[in-house]
Every structure is written in C-alpha cells, then in structure tokens.
Amino acid sequence: MLVCIHYTNAQDYPIISDMVTDNAAIFSDKEAASLRQKLVSYEVKSSHEIVVLTIHGLDGDTIEYYAYSVFNQDGNNFGKEGIDNGILILIAPNDRKVRIEVGDGLEFIITDAFASRIIRERITPLFKQGRFFDGIDAATTELIKLIEDPIYANEFANSIKEEAVSTRDKSTDGVHYMTKIIVSCILLVFFFWIGVYAYYRLIIKKSFKTFKLKTLYKNHKTKFLIYAAIALLIVHSFYVFFLKLFFGLLLTGFLSIFVFIGYFVLLKMAFTRAILIFKSLFTGQLGVFIYPFYIPTTLFLFVAGFLFGSLPIVMGFFFMLSLVFGEDINRFMANVEFIYVLFFFLSVIILFHFIAIYFAIYQIKGEYNKTFGFSFFKRDAKLHSELNPGSARGYSSSGSSSYSSSSYSSSRSSSSSSSSSYSGGGGRSSGGGASGSW
C-alpha cells in the first residue's frame, strides 16, 4: 500500500524546453534573456548544456530527488546521449534550496566538492541578499571556467585513466587475501551443508539425520581432505559469485516468508471465507441485505494476502529487469499512471469474487442436501459461528452438515518538443552534484 501511495502521490516534473525556465519568477525579463543568451552561446560553442530551472517549492520532495527526477525524466535528459555533458541548476526559493545536478560525463570535472564550493562561495552569499541573477550568473561563469580550463581538462583525462586502473585493480586485488580466505571458508561450509542436504533428501531419499560428518572423515580421510581443498580453491577463485549467491539465497528465503504468509495463509483464509459466504448466500442461509456486512473482512484478508505475496515477486522482477536490461526502476514506476494500477487491482478483486462464486456453486451442486435459494434478512447462527469461531465457543450444531474449510484446501488460485534554444539529447545523471541552502 505504501508503495502504491508513494507513486500515486508522485508529482509531475516539468519538461524543460529552454536553457532558462523561470517558473518561480525570480529573474526579470532582461536578466532571464541575458542568462539564456549566455548559456545558448556556450552550448553552440562547446555542446555542453547548462540549464537553469526555478520552481516555487519542492512539494515534499528533497532537492536531490527533485533534481535527479527532472534531469533523467523522458523529454529532458540534459546533455548529449553517450556523452552526458549536461548540468542542471535547480533553485527552490520557497524552500531556500539550490542544487547543481551534474551529468555523468562531467562528474570528473565538476566533482561534488567543486559543485559544493560553487554553491558555498558564489551562490549562497548573493542569494542571502536576494540577488538571484547575480548568484546564478557567477555560478555559471565558474562552471564554464572549470570545464574549459586546460588544467581541469588534463585532470579529466588523468581521472579517466586512474579510474580505469582503480577499477581493474579492485576487480582483481582490491580485496585483501585474508578476507578472501575467511569468506571462502564460510561460504564453503554453507554450500557444503546445502549440497549434503539436497543429496540425502533428493537423490538417495534418506533422512538427513543419518549423515555423520565425523564418520565420513574417518572412513575417507584422504579423499575428504582433497575434495575439501579443491572446493575451497573453487570458492576462493569465484568468491564474489558465491558471495552474491549466498546473499541472493538469504534474501530469497526472507522474501519467501512474505509470499507464504500472503498466498498460503491470508489468501487461503480469504478464499475459504468468501466461498462459505457465497455458498450461504446462494442457499438462503445468509440474507441478501446481511451479506454486505461480511464483505470488509473478506476483502481485507484478500488485499493483505495479495500484497504480502505479490510485492516480493514484483520487486524481484523489477530488480532482475534493472540488472539484465539496465532499466531505471524509479523512472519506470514514476511513469506508471495511477489509473492503470487501480484498474489492475480492481480486476484482480473481481476475478477473486468470480473464482469464489464458481467454487461455491460447484460445492452446492456436489452436496445432495443443499438447494439454491435466497433470503433477505436471514443470518444462520451456524454460519456466524463458522465465520467467527472465537465468538461461538460451546455452540452445538445439529441438522445438516456444514461447510468445512478443508474442502477447499486443494482449490486455491493459484514529451515535449524542444525549442530552438535547447537541443536536449539524452544525457544521464547518476545523482552527482551538490546541494545547499541559504
């Protein structure tokens, strides 16, 4: 529910079609035109895009998340595709917040430290005096100097080389040798017991309790040590893979608890209750006007079970999607319309009712002492005791046989076009930059 509410309340972020978008009206027309001309000229000259956006307030978002969402929203994507050489300066005067969001391609030059220094030394002092244009003009001038300075250009090239070497070193010798040994031993023990358990239960069909490690070691001491050494070398060589596998199994086991509770406990209770209610409704044991009072509890059980069981599966699917195809989950979810989510959820609830009705009719036809009929205000005491077992202790039933929840134990279901002054392109940002307040 919280996930749905979060994305339901997600605000729409502006589509930028100009180098200067002054939604908060903090610049005069002359100031905005001057700043726009400066940034457009620089983009034509260098292809680097510095975009200024002002908004009244953040509406509950953090300045970092708002800037990141605007930067990466379809239709914006500041900077050129593949180069990611865009910069967004976001100002929210009502919240007294400012953010410099830097594209991935310029992060080696406009580091977080540089962006923070520009905000601290160029923007904040002037913003405190209400001189918004002067602050942004000084900040953009400083950004252009940093990008164009040959010193920083050389540092940029060296940073790329150092990053490549650092990445290569980390992939091989970045982890201490003793750490590899310790982690490998732990993983070896973990996967050894999983393998033994699977061998006894699935292959030789014996109880796992019959396995004795001490006996195995005594009878095959040499082979045991050789196999253990080989296994340790294998795990040591691929310890990153086995470590990911370990945490993957751990996470899967944890999420499986939610799936089990959702599908096999709560959802089963919801179906059992719904079938009993519809069965009583169609046989006249439950009045038509009394039936609505039993709906809320049934729907609550169904919604709780469906969310508990489905959310881990859905989130796992999106995680795999982002892992395999590199999709941005936040961007994907932010673009999902609430009406589609609501329509899907209502469709599932309707399907749930149809399944319950089908099994209720099927069971009525299978019982010789049950006939179809309807009543208006009747509420059978026996039905009430079955739906609320805790409130009917000591109740003694007589007469026709009642519906048992076990009879259903085997039946579960399962954007905007750009103006000539802003070319856009497809640049991305991973969240680099700095924020500040005044």
What's the confidence (pLDDT) of residue 326? 56
What's the confidence (pLDDT) of residue 400? 38
Q: How many whole angstroms separate alpha carbon 54 and alpha carbon 112?
A: 21
Q: Where are the domains of the chain?
A: 20-169, 240-366
> Tell me: domain 20-169, CATH 3.10.310.50, correct?
yes
First vs last Cα of the chain: how many Å apart? Answer: 36
CB 389 within 8 A of CB 308: no
User: Average pLDDT in the 353-362 region?
Assistant: 88
Residues 6+ apart with CB under 8 A from 1: 307
Q: What is the pLDDT of residues 102-122, one digit of tens each?
A: 988 888 788 888 888 899 888
Q: What is the pLDDT of residues 135-194, one digit of tens each?
A: 999 999 989 988 887 665 555 445 545 544 554 444 444 566 677 778 777 877 887 777
Better-predicted residue by pLDDT, 243 or 295: 295
Q: How many CA atoms lie within 13 A of 434 on its CB side?
A: 18
What's the confidence (pLDDT) of residue 105? 83
Amino acid sitting at position 136 = I
What's the confidence (pLDDT) of residue 425? 61
What's the confidence (pLDDT) of residue 87? 92
Which stretch of 210-224, 298-312, 374-388, 416-430 has the lowest confidence by average pLDDT? 416-430
User: Average pLDDT in the 307-313 region?
Assistant: 83
Q: What is the pLDDT of residues 8-61, one digit of tens each?
A: 445 678 888 888 999 999 999 999 999 999 999 998 888 889 999 999 988 888
Alpha-helix residue ranges (DSSP H) falling in 212-327: 213-219, 221-237, 239-259, 267-282, 295-325
The per-residue pLDDT of the chain, averaged, comes to: 76
